[in-house]
Amino acid sequence: MDELPCTIQDDLKLFNTLVDFLLKEERDNPVAERIHRKDLHKSVDYTLTREATLDEDLLQNLKDLVRATPKTATELFFNQLFGGRQGKAVVGDLLAVLLNNSMYTYKVAGPLVAIEKEIIHQSCKLIGYGDDSDGTIATGGSMSNYMALLMARDKAQPDARFEGVNQPLVMYTSKESHYSNAKNASFAGIGRNNVRYIESDDHGRMRPDLLEDQIKQDISNGLKPFYVNATAGTTVLGSFDPVNEIADITEAYNLWLHVDGAYCGAVIFSDKYKHLVEGAHRADSFSYNAHKMLGTPLTCSLILVKDKRYLTHSFSNEAEYLYQTDDDADNLGKTSLQCGRRNDALKFWTLWKSIGLKGLEQMVDKQFNLSKYAKAYVDGHPDYEVYSYDNSVSICFNYKGIDAAKLCTALYEERETVVGFGIFNEDKFIRLVTINPNNSEKDIDRFFEVIETFVARTPTLQELQVESK
């Protein structure tokens, strides 16, 4: 059998060549050319063959792939919830790939266990949790929400792990919360029909009065409420549910309270903005995504619990072929939904270690400063109509009454900028997300200039005006 070509050193040289190419592409072409689905296979040679591909051909294939892939770290990418690119976090992620440890036992993870536990410990302190708290790292906000739901289910029905859910359970979340709540209800045996969607106020925040009314109604109908999901940064408006007021209700009715901070839960790192989740220490669980506001590469989501016993109760399982040495406290598979789990802690630790808590706080504060700057721009121009509110990193607006979906699509197709749209109370609008701390006020100015210039030279867009409410 022929020996496999190249050493890891050769391959890393190849990788460095690709890094240089990517950075040049981002500088010269910050918005990737849109590839129509029918043309997808014309842009890159995707075919897999029996014979090996020469390095020079592979390099060209990979360059083609880099050129065609949406560029999420550039100054013109404002779509969805990406936090740009933080170099030290990238270094940590690359090292994790090279080390290639799994996190289920101390035997195979070693000091990486301490790294994950330190991140969790410090995060719990920021929330205000005590010594009995703990957590784990999940693949994303949806998984964190799912784990919180399972712990709440198992608290409400301790035998559910063995017998299944034996009584209908009812959970509550706002209409503006993440779509994963419905999916998770079906996975956990709760059922989508047992999810109650509570109306929000004009700012997109769950209304506690309506929450309590619904709980009372369900109890009177013989149902068993057990779980409330509060959102710290709704997907569209970036709104914060009033955690303290909701906690008053969950404590009164003995319900599990989870704070879904996937989008904006990282405000716990900021002295200036942590008041937006005031009362978080009263929640049974709290989650945030380091791969959003904190700029860590995908994926890195933390699910934290006030009482660590619930993690073990819901997720521990004996497996002699795995847990052969060391204490359960150091075998992280005992508190995780996953068995094989990549080391997603190292990249976040490398970033945190390099810039400190102060640096992370500055990142969060800058994102809010950029949002204030963008909102002031919109507020100050009569051609714009604003739909969002203060203390949000989502700036929602329309320009000259043009249909937001059509304008966003046109900007994307013409490689001007990448930005999405959202809907709230039947209003549709452009949603500018300012969670890339590498952006500056000049980048915000450029974003609006791109829109205004594009509309001015594209008169057909004026035909796409919709009636404003």
Tens of pLDDT, residues 417-437 = 999 999 999 899 999 999 999
Which letter does DSSP use for residue 438 in this model? T
3-state secondary structure of 161: helix
Structure tokens at 336: 């995780």
Q: Given a cut of 60, is residue 38 above it in pLDDT?
A: yes
Residue 195 has pLDDT above 80, yes or no: yes
Query: What integer pLDDT is reported at residue 1 of this predicted model?
Result: 43
Average pLDDT over residues 318-345: 79
3-state secondary structure of 107: helix
Rounded Cα gap, residues 15 and 469, in angstroms: 52
Mean pLDDT, rounded, for 176-188: 94
pLDDT tens column, 130-164: 999 999 999 999 999 999 999 999 999 998 888 88
Tell me which of 3-12, 310-319, 411-420 is least confident.
Answer: 3-12
The pLDDT, as a whole number, for residue 422 is: 95
Encoded tokens for 1? 């059998």
How many angstroms separate the CA atoms of 377 and 438, rounded?
19
Check whether 330 has a pLDDT greater than 90. Answer: no
- Please say whether the dihedral angle defined by the alpha carbons of residues 411, 415, 416 and 417, taken in this order, is positive or negative: positive
CATH level 2 (architecture), domain 364-464: Alpha-Beta Complex (3.90)
Q: Has residue 6 got a pLDDT over 70? A: no
d(CA 296, CA 285): 22
Render pLDDT for 393-412 as a digit per residue (tens, 0 to 9). 999 999 999 999 999 999 99
Q: What are phi and psi of 369, to 5 degrees?
A: -65, -40
Which stretch of 270-274, 311-315, 461-465 has the lowest confidence by average pLDDT? Answer: 461-465
| Residue-by-residue DSSP string for 9-43 | HHHHHHHHHHHHHHHHHHHH-SSPPP--GGGHHHH
Predicted pLDDT at 325: 74
If pLDDT is split at 50, 70 and 90, which confidence band does 194 have? very high
> Given this model, what pLDDT does residue 3 score?
54
Specify the length of the chain in residues.
Answer: 469
Q: Is the peptide bond before 74 cis (omega within 30 degrees of 0)?
A: no
**Average pLDDT value for the chain:** 92
CA distance linking residue 167 with residue 133, whole number of Å: 29
Parse the chain into domains and list their residue ranges.
8-67, 91-351, 364-464
pLDDT at 463: 67
The pLDDT value recorded for residue 469 is 42
Q: What percent of the chain lies above the pLDDT cut of 90?
A: 78
Q: How confident is the model at residue 224 (pLDDT cuts 50, 70, 90)?
A: very high
Calculate the alpha carbon distances from 386 to 24, 107, 237, 335, 390 in Å. 35, 54, 11, 44, 11
Alpha-helical (H) ranges within 70-207 are 87-99, 106-109, 111-127, 141-156, 160-163, 180-187
pLDDT bucket at 4, cuts 50 / 70 / 90: low
The whole-number pLDDT of residue 106 equals 85
Are 84 and 439 a contacting pair, CB within 8 Å?
Answer: yes
The pTM of this model reads 0.94
pLDDT value, residue 218: 97
Tokens describing residue 224: 């068993």
Q: What is residue 5's predicted lDDT score, i.e. its pLDDT?
A: 55
**Over residues 342-364, mean pLDDT:** 97
Q: With bands split at pLDDT 50, 70 and 90, how would you rate the model's confidence at 468? A: very low
Bridge pairing between strands 285-289 and 301-305: antiparallel
Q: Which of 289, 288, 335 is nearest to 309 (CA)?
A: 335
Identify the CA nearest to 279 among candidates 262, 256, 294, 257.
257
The reported pLDDT for the residue numbered 408 is 96
Q: Tell me the CATH number of domain 91-351, given options 3.40.50.720, 3.90.230.10, 3.40.640.10, 3.90.700.10.
A: 3.40.640.10
In angstroms, the CA 65 to CA 58 distance is 10
